[in-house]
Chains A and B, each alone.
Chain A
Amino acid sequence: MSMAGLVAAWVVFGVVIVSAAAQIGLYISAGVELRRIRRRDRHQLWRRMLASPLAPRISILVPAFNEAVTVIDSVSNLLALTYSNLEVVVVNDGSTDETLDRLVAGFDLSPVGPVYRRVLETAPVRQIFRSSHDARLVVVDKHNGGKADTLNVALSVASGDLVCAIDADTIVAMDALQQMVVPFLDDVNTVAVGGTIRLVNEARWSNGQMVELRAPRHPLVGAQVVEYTRSFLIGRLGWGPLGGNIIISGAFGLFRRDALLEVHGYEHGSVGEDMELIVRLRRNGYERGTPVRVDFSPEPVAFTEAPESVRTLARQRNRWFRGLLDVLTRHRAMILRPRYGSAGLLSMPYFVVVEAVAPIIESLGLVVLVVAAVTGGFPPAGLTIVGAGYLVAICTSYLVLLVDDVAFGTFGHARDRLLMSCHVIVEQLALRPMTLVWRLWGLRLFLQGRTEWGVQERRGLDSAT
Chain B
Amino acid sequence: MILGVDPPTTLMWGLVVIGVFAGCYVMVGSVLDSARVRRARKRDEMQHDLAIVLFRPGQEGTAAAERLTRGPRSILFDLIQRSAADLSGDADARLRSLVAAAGLGRRIRRRIHSRSWRSRAQGAALASLLPFGHPDRLALLDDRHGLVRSRAVDAMAASDIAENAERITALLDDPAQAVRLAAKNALLKGGTAIVPALDLYLFSSAGPGTVFALDVAANLPDPRLVISIEHHALSNDARRREVAARALGPWASRSTILADLLRDDEDEVRAAAALAIAVGGAQDSVAEIGLLLRDRSWTVRRAAGSALASLGAAGAMTLRVYAHDSDLYAQDMARQTLATIEASPSSLDSSLPAGAVGSGAMP
Min CB–CB distance B43 → chain A (angstroms)? 14
Distance in angstroms between the alpha carbons of A409 and B33 in the assembled complex: 8
Do residues B11 and A387 form an inter-chain contact, with CB atoms below 8 A?
yes
The answer, among A132, A398, A411, for a CB contact under 8 Å with B22, is: A398
**A399 partner residues in chain B, CB cutoff 8 A:** 21
Known pairs A48-B185, A54-B184, A383-B11; A409 contacts B22 (CB<8 A): no
Which among B2-10, B63-71, B131-139, B310-318 touches the partner chain?
Answer: B2-10
The answer, among B2, B14, B212, for a CB contact under 8 Å with A387, is: B14
* Inter-chain residue pair count (beta carbon < 8 A): 145
Do residues A417 and B30 form an inter-chain contact, with CB atoms below 8 A?
yes
Min CB–CB distance A233 → chain B (angstroms)? 14
Do residues A384 and B5 form an inter-chain contact, with CB atoms below 8 A?
yes
Do residues A130 and B298 form an inter-chain contact, with CB atoms below 8 A?
yes
Distance in angstroms between the alpha carbons of A194 and B302 in the assembled complex: 34
Known pairs A43-B125, A401-B25; A53 contacts B359 (CB<8 A): yes
Interface centre among B1, B81, B118, B211 (most CB of A within 10 A): B118
Do residues A110 and B353 form an inter-chain contact, with CB atoms below 8 A?
no
Proximity string of chain A (34-58) to chain B, C-beta cutoff 8 Å, 1 when within and 0 when not? 0000011001110011111111100
Which among B175-183, B199-207, B227-235 touches the partner chain?
Answer: B175-183
Per the 8 Å Cβ criterion, residues 102-132 of B in contact with A are 118, 121-122, 125
Do residues A405 and B32 form an inter-chain contact, with CB atoms below 8 A?
yes
**B85 close to chain A: CB less than 8 A:** yes
Known pairs A54-B212, A383-B11; A115 contacts B297 (CB<8 A): yes
Per the 8 Å Cβ criterion, residues 1-60 of B in contact with A are 1-3, 5-7, 10-11, 14, 17-18, 21-22, 24-26, 28-30, 32-33, 36
Proximity string of chain B (280-296) to chain A, C-beta cutoff 8 Å, 1 when within and 0 when not? 00000000000000001
- Name which residue of chain A comes closest to B148, CB basis: A43
**A414 partner residues in chain B, CB cutoff 8 A:** 26, 29-30, 33
Chain B residues with a Cβ closer than 8 Å to the other chain, count: 59
The answer, among A56, A113, A381, A394, for a CB contact under 8 Å with B329, is: A113
Distance in angstroms between the alpha carbons of A411 and B29 in the assembled complex: 8
Distance in angstroms between the alpha carbons of A425 and B14 in the assembled complex: 12
Do residues A384 and B21 form an inter-chain contact, with CB atoms below 8 A?
no
**B325 close to chain A: CB less than 8 A:** no
Interface centre among A43, A48, A425 (most CB of B within 10 A): A43
**A387 partner residues in chain B, CB cutoff 8 A:** 7, 10-11, 14
**B149 close to chain A: CB less than 8 A:** no
The answer, among B2, B151, B185, for a CB contact under 8 Å with A52, is: B185
Do residues B329 and A112 form an inter-chain contact, with CB atoms below 8 A?
yes
Min CB–CB distance B344 → chain A (angstroms)? 13
**B154 close to chain A: CB less than 8 A:** yes
**B359 partner residues in chain A, CB cutoff 8 A:** 52-54
**B100 partner residues in chain A, CB cutoff 8 A:** none
Min CB–CB distance B330 → chain A (angstroms)? 11
**A385 close to chain B: CB less than 8 A:** yes
**B336 close to chain A: CB less than 8 A:** yes
**A388 close to chain B: CB less than 8 A:** yes
Interface centre among A135, A399, A420 (most CB of B within 10 A): A135
**B264 close to chain A: CB less than 8 A:** no
Distance in angstroms between the alpha carbons of A186 and B1 in the assembled complex: 58
Min CB–CB distance B83 → chain A (angstroms)? 11
**B156 close to chain A: CB less than 8 A:** no
Known pairs A43-B122, A54-B184; A130 contacts B7 (CB<8 A): no
Known pairs A185-B177, A381-B7, A417-B29; A44 contacts B215 (CB<8 A): no
Distance in angstroms between the alpha carbons of A379 and B3 in the assembled complex: 13
The answer, among B2, B30, B178, for a CB contact under 8 Å with A185, is: B178
- Name which residue of chain B comes closest to A115, CB basis: B296
Do residues A52 and B29 form an inter-chain contact, with CB atoms below 8 A?
no
**A55 partner residues in chain B, CB cutoff 8 A:** 181
Q: Which 9 A-B pairs have the closest CB atoms?
A: A381-B2, A112-B298, A421-B22, A398-B21, A383-B7, A185-B178, A384-B10, A417-B26, A53-B359
Binding site for B on A (CB under 8 A): 6, 39-40, 43-45, 48-56, 110, 112-113, 115, 128, 130, 132, 135, 184-186, 188, 379-381, 383-385, 387-388, 391, 394-395, 398-399, 401-402, 405-406, 409, 411-414, 417-418, 420-421, 424-425
